[in-house]
Every structure is written in C-alpha cells, then in structure tokens.
C-alpha cells in the first residue's frame, strides 16, 4: 500500500470514529433530557382500604387499592412500604411495581393490590404504605 492510501484510510477511520462518538453523545444527552422530564412528573396517589395483615406463614400481606386522585393520566405506578418495630427501628422497606409499563390509570380510576413481604408480622409496630405514578398523556 502506498503512504497516501494509508493516510486516506487513517483519515476516514478517524472521521468515522469521531462521527460515531458525536452521535453517541447526542443520544445520551437526548435520553438524559427525556429522563429528567419524566422524573419531574411524579405524582403521589391515594391509597384506600389499606390492610396490613398476618398470613399463616407469619409473614405480612398488604392489601388495598390505589386511586388516581390527580387530574392527569398516570402510569408506572409503584407501591412503597416501610416497616418499623416498637423502638422505631427500620425493619425493612420495599418498592414494588403495581402496573405494567403501558398501563394507564385515568383520573378517578383505582387499581387493587395484594402484596406479600417477608417481614415478620409480629415484629411490625408501625408501617407506612404510599403510592406514586408518573403523569402521562
């Protein structure tokens, strides 16, 4: 190969590498901007008919329904649970998805949940169960 051919190949490979790097950085920035926009659209949802009960195995069952008390459609609904003992010491905390990604909970609609957690019911003194989702169109 001639030196000129090697220089051309090296130049085009370098240009291709730089182009690929720029496209990748653009896509990462676009993803981060999109993520930042969705995380700011988080809304807390109402929980009704909440029950934290013992099941025969001694573990804990959490029942209830999430109500979309906002004026917007929401998706990606999650349940957050925190359990404390008599001294106020954290026993455990969990976050569980309630709805599939494409599922939309419209204003006024509710969605039931029935979750089991491996926290000894007898050790629980207090619990805090909350729900949240992300506003969508």
pLDDT in tens, 36-52: 444 568 999 999 999 98
List phi, psi (to 5°) of 70: -95, 180
68 CB-near residues (< 8 Å, 6+ apart): 45, 46, 74, 105, 106, 107, 108, 109, 110, 133
The 10s digit of each residue's pLDDT in 95-106 is: 999 998 889 999
pLDDT band at 21 (very low <50, low <70, confident <90, very high): low
Unique residue bearing structure tokens 């729900």: 131
Query: Are 52 and 127 in contact, with CB atoms under 8 Å apart?
Result: yes
Residue 30 has a pLDDT of 52
In 1-125, at which residue ranges do the beta strands (DSSP E only) sit? 42-54, 60-67, 73-84, 90-97, 110-117
124 neighbors 83 (Cβ within 8 angstroms): yes
Q: Which CATH code for domain 42-136? A: 2.60.40.1620
């Amino acid at each position: 190969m001639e030196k000129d051919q090697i220089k051309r190949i090296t130049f085009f490979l370098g240009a291709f590498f730089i182009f690929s790097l720029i496209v990748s950085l653009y896509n990462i920035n676009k993803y981060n901007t999109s993520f930042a926009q969705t995380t700011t659209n988080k809304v807390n949802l109402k929980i009704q008919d909440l029950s934290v009960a013992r099941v025969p195995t001694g573990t804990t069952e959490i029942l209830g329904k999430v109500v979309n008390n906002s004026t917007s459609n929401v998706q990606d609904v999650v349940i957050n649970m925190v359990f404390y003992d008599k001294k106020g010491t954290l026993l455990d905390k969990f976050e569980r998805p309630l709805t599939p990604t494409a599922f939309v909970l419209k204003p006024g609609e509710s969605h039931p949940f029935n979750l089991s957690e491996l926290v000894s019911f007898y050790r629980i003194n207090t619990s805090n169960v909350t729900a949240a989702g992300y506003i969508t169109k």
